[in-house]
Structure 1
Amino acid sequence: MDDLVEPALRDGALDGLISDPTTVSQFLKALGHDGRLTILCHLLDGPRSVTELENLLCARQAVVSQQLARLRLEGLVSAQRDGNAIYYSIQDDRVRQTIIFLANLF
């Protein structure tokens, strides 16, 4: 059975997942919404304004803002005001790593 386990997962590498599954689950739920995942994919290239994200997602401002609010609440993105525009960027490097991982899988 040990031969089936990836070497990177041996020696307690799963301890964090096992000891705090709620945090991991919340992170995955935040990424598990198609709109939020798409927003995060667009933010990989750098900060974007709400208007830019609206255009990229072909979505209304209220919908985009709602998803950005959830991402901010989870600590995954940060916001910076520049005049009348608010620019969002990825705050948590785990987001970058996860999206790159997902891109390689799919």
Structure 2
Amino acid sequence: MGSYVRKRLEEIKADPALRRRPAKPLSFQKQAAMVAKFLAALGHETRLLTCIHLMDGERTVMDLLSRVGGSQHSLSQHLGILVEMGILESRAERTWRYYSCKSEDAKAVIRVLDVLARTNALPSSPSGPLERP
């Protein structure tokens, strides 16, 4: 029995297709929920600006703070949300923490928004407060 297990483990190590079972496709409702959560993360002005500034490379928190504004505490909270969503990644170097945008999906969404903004195709701001159903 032990030799069979060893042999099977060797087969699994040799063939990457055997290592993981394919994931079940998500239902349309679960996909929509994931997209909504992703868009909500980018939907805040500070988080969107942060991602825009990180598209070209990594920056420190202090560099981002000078570009985005606000307090260090609130920016740290926004960075935490973006890291948790997998949009940003960070690395520590001595006393500094560097952030960068690792999500190609987020970069693609920002590029689309940029094209829409440059061609004045974004919807105008509604006047007054939004009415809720």
Normalising by structure 2, what TM-score?
A: 0.65
Matches of 1:102 and 1:48 in 2, distance apart?
22
Matches of 1:70 and 1:32 in 2, distance apart?
12
Structure 2 residue aligned with 1:11: none
- Gapped regions of structure 2 (runs ≥ 5): 1-25, 118-133
- Gapped regions of structure 1 (runs ≥ 5): 1-15
Q: Which amino acid aligns with 2:86?
A: G
Matches of 1:17 and 1:88 in 2, distance apart?
33
Structure 1 residue aligned with 2:35: 24
Q: How many residues align?
A: 91
Q: Which amino acid aligns with 2:106?
A: V
Normalising by structure 1, what TM-score?
A: 0.80
Structure 1 residue aligned with 2:105: 94
Q: Which amino acid aligns with 1:42?
A: H
Higher-helix-fraction structure:
1
